[in-house]
Chain A
Amino acid sequence: MLAPSFAGFEAYFVDGCVRDLLLNTTPKDFDVITTADLDQASEFGDMDRISQFPDFIVHHILSFCNTLDGPPAELVRMSVLSKTWFKLTASFPILEFDIRNFESRTSFFKYVEYTISRFCHENLTAHKLKLVATLCEPAELDIVNRCLDLVLRKGVKALEIHITNSSDVPASAVPKYCLPNTLLSASMLESLVIRGCELPSSYMVGVVKFKYLIQLALIDVQIDDEVIKCVTTSCPLLQELYIARCHGFKRFCIYGHQHLQRVGVYYHTPVEKIDIEAPNLCYLMVVDTNYIGAPRINVSSCKKLTTVFYFGRPLPNSNGFTDFLSKFPFIENLVLYTGYRCNNLNWSSHSLRTLVLHINCDFKEMEFNTPNLALFIYARNYNVLRPEVDKHWYLGGKCWPPVRDLTHMKGCMQCYPDGHIDVLWFQKLRLFLDKKNGFKVLNLYINSIYSQKLTDLEKLKAIDLPPYELEHVELQLDAFPFEESMAFVDAVLCCCRPRSLTLRLSSPVTDVEEQSNIVKFTFEKLLEQEDQSHTNIQIVGPSSSHAQKHLMELKSLSMILPREGETTSFIKEEVVQEEADA
Chain B
Amino acid sequence: MTSSKTIVLRSSDGATFEVDEAVALHSLMIKHRIETGGADSTTIDVPEVTGNTLSKVIEYCKKHVEAPNSDDLKSFDTDFVKVDQAVLCHLAKASYYMNIKGLLDLSSKTIADMFKGKTVEQIRETFHIKNDFTPEEEEELRKENSWNLFV
10 closest Cβ pairs, A-B complex? A64-B112, A73-B150, A49-B89, A76-B150, A48-B128, A61-B108, A64-B109, A60-B108, A44-B86, A107-B148
Contact between chains at A71 and B112 (CB < 8 Å): no
| Total chain B interface residues with beta-carbon distance under 8 A | 41
Query: A49 with B148: in contact, given A57-B93, A82-B131, A82-B133 (CB under 8 Å)?
Result: no
State the CA gap A84–B87 with chains docked (Å).
22
Min CB distance A168 to B, Å, is: 22
Contact between chains at B112 and A61 (CB < 8 Å): yes
The A70-99 residues at the B interface (CB cut-off 8 A) are 71-74, 76-78, 80-86
Which listed segment binds A: B26-34, B57-65, B115-123?
Answer: B115-123
* Partner pick for A82 among B86, B116, B119, B130, CB 8 A cutoff: B130
Contact between chains at B148 and A57 (CB < 8 Å): no
* Partner pick for A61 among B85, B111, B123, CB 8 A cutoff: B111
Q: Which residues of B contact A347 (CB under 8 A)?
A: none
Which listed segment binds A: B16-24, B38-46, B139-147?
Answer: B139-147
Q: Which residues of A contact B128 (CB under 8 A)?
A: 46-48
Q: Which residues of A contact B118 (CB under 8 A)?
A: 77
Min CB distance A438 to B, Å, is: 29
* Partner pick for A43 among B52, B108, B130, B131, CB 8 A cutoff: B52
Contact between chains at A50 and B148 (CB < 8 Å): no
Show 27 A/B contacts (Cβ-Cβ < 8 Å), sorted by A: A45-B86, A47-B128, A48-B127, A50-B111, A51-B127, A54-B93, A56-B96, A57-B92, A57-B108, A60-B105, A61-B92, A61-B112, A64-B109, A64-B112, A73-B150, A74-B116, A77-B115, A77-B119, A77-B150, A78-B115, A80-B138, A80-B145, A82-B124, A82-B130, A83-B133, A110-B148, A111-B147
Q: Is the interface of A mostly helix, strand, loop or mixed?
A: helix
Min CB distance B64 to A, Å, is: 19
Mark contacts of A33-69 with chain B using CB atoms, 8 A cut-off: 1 yes-contact digit, 0 otherwise. 0000001000111111111011011001111110000
The B60-109 residues at the A interface (CB cut-off 8 A) are 84-87, 89-90, 92-93, 96, 104-105, 108-109
Q: Which residues of A contact B (CB under 8 A)?
A: 39, 43-51, 53-54, 56-57, 60-65, 71-74, 76-78, 80-86, 106-107, 110-111, 114
Contact between chains at A64 and B150 (CB < 8 Å): no
Contact between chains at B86 and A81 (CB < 8 Å): no
State the CA gap A84–B151 with chains docked (Å).
17
State the CA gap A44–B105 with chains docked (Å).
22
Contact between chains at A76 and B129 (CB < 8 Å): no
Contact between chains at A83 and B150 (CB < 8 Å): no
Q: Which residues of A contact B132 (CB under 8 A)?
A: 82-84
Contact between chains at B141 and A80 (CB < 8 Å): yes
B50 at the interface (CB under 8 A from A): yes
Nearest B residue (CB) for A108: B148
State the CA gap A65–B141 with chains docked (Å).
21
* Partner pick for A81 among B93, B109, B131, CB 8 A cutoff: B131
State the CA gap A18–B116 with chains docked (Å).
44
Contact between chains at A76 and B131 (CB < 8 Å): no
State the CA gap A81–B115 with chains docked (Å).
12
Q: Which residues of B contact A (CB under 8 A)?
A: 13, 50, 52, 84-87, 89-90, 92-93, 96, 104-105, 108-109, 111-113, 115-116, 118-120, 123-124, 127-133, 138, 141, 144-145, 147-148, 150-151
State the CA gap A114–B147 with chains docked (Å).
11
State the CA gap A64–B113 with chains docked (Å).
8
State the CA gap A64–B116 with chains docked (Å).
10
Min CB distance A57 to B, Å, is: 5
State the CA gap A76–B130 with chains docked (Å).
17
Q: Which residues of B contact A82 (CB under 8 A)?
A: 124, 129-133
Contact between chains at B148 and A71 (CB < 8 Å): yes
Most chain-A CB neighbours within 10 Å: which of B96, B104, B145?
B145
State the CA gap A65–B90 with chains docked (Å).
20
Most chain-A CB neighbours within 10 Å: which of B84, B147, B151?
B147
Contact between chains at B144 and A81 (CB < 8 Å): no
Min CB distance B101 to A, Å, is: 10
State the CA gap A106–B112 with chains docked (Å).
28
Query: A49 with B151: in contact, given A62-B112, A64-B108, A82-B133 (CB under 8 Å)?
Result: no
Min CB distance A118 to B, Å, is: 10
Contact between chains at B92 and A48 (CB < 8 Å): no
Q: Which residues of B contact A86 (CB under 8 A)?
A: 141
Q: Which residues of A contact B96 (CB under 8 A)?
A: 54, 56-57
Nearest A residue (CB) for B112: A64
Query: A77 with B151: in contact, given A54-B96, A83-B132 (CB under 8 Å)?
Result: yes
